[in-house]
Amino acid sequence: MKINLNNLKLPPDQSKNIHFAEDLDAEAWGSWGVRFKQPVVVEGILAHDGDHLAVQGSVHAEVELDCSRCLKPVAHTVDTRISAWLIDEPNQGEFSQAKDDMIVCLGGVADLRPLVEELIISEIPFNALCGEDCKGLCSMCGSDLNTGVCGCREDNIDPRWEKLKQLT
């Protein structure tokens, strides 16, 4: 997701379309429980404000997460906006107070990937559910309670209730 600004001859009144479809590091994301179903797509335009270049567009990712209760795969779509200034490293200081996102270009090359990854992370739910009513796994035997009752509950009655039972 790199844009080489050295070769980019973009007149101030013009913009240029960008399009990337790239795989992110499957191993790193997998260790966070996120699996990409297809390459991440970044589409947008590069444009001038006179002095600086900015990138604006969309980020689209199809991911699979684990249900936080039963661990079944859950499909999730990330659709978010990217909007950032592309700033040459020596000019970084003047933008440090800016509210907008900033991509610092090293050697005239802007790499969108770190910002794209940040944007995707912020759109991933931490407690993904396969359904609002997911019953999760039995804490005793680990079986999926969505597919039926495992029988552990009856065997695991609170001892205080056990005493009450004896009274009857």
* Footprint (CB under 5 A) of Zn ion, residues 132-151: 134, 138, 140-141, 150
Interface with Zn ion includes 26 (CB under 5 A)?
Answer: no
Rg (Cα) of the chain, in Å, rounded?
Answer: 25
Interface with Zn ion includes 67 (CB under 5 A)?
Answer: yes
Q: Which of 69, 84, 115, 137 binds Zn ion (CB under 5 A)?
A: 69
Which amino acid appears at position 31 of this protein? Answer: S
Q: CB-wise, 21 or 141, nearer to Zn ion?
A: 141
Minimal distance, residue 35 CB to Zn ion, in Å: 16
Interface with Zn ion includes 5 (CB under 5 A)?
Answer: no
CB 126 within 8 A of CB 140: no
Interface with Zn ion includes 47 (CB under 5 A)?
Answer: no
CB 152 within 8 A of CB 145: no
Interface with Zn ion includes 18 (CB under 5 A)?
Answer: no
- d(Cα 163, Cα 166) in Å, to the nearest integer? 5
Minimal distance, residue 72 CB to Zn ion, in Å: 5
Interface with Zn ion includes 10 (CB under 5 A)?
Answer: no
- d(Cα 32, Cα 24) in Å, to the nearest integer? 13
- d(Cα 153, Cα 138) in Å, to the nearest integer? 9
- Closest by CA to 1, choosing from 48, 73, 63, 61, is 61
Q: CB-wise, 69 or 87, nearer to Zn ion?
A: 69
134 φ, ψ (degrees, to nearest 5): -55, 130
Interface with Zn ion includes 61 (CB under 5 A)?
Answer: no
Q: How many CB atoms lie within 10 A of CB 102?
A: 17
* Footprint (CB under 5 A) of Zn ion, residues 97-136: 130, 134
Interface with Zn ion includes 46 (CB under 5 A)?
Answer: no
Contact residues for Zn ion (CB under 5 A)?
A: 67, 69-70, 72, 130, 134, 138, 140-141, 150, 152
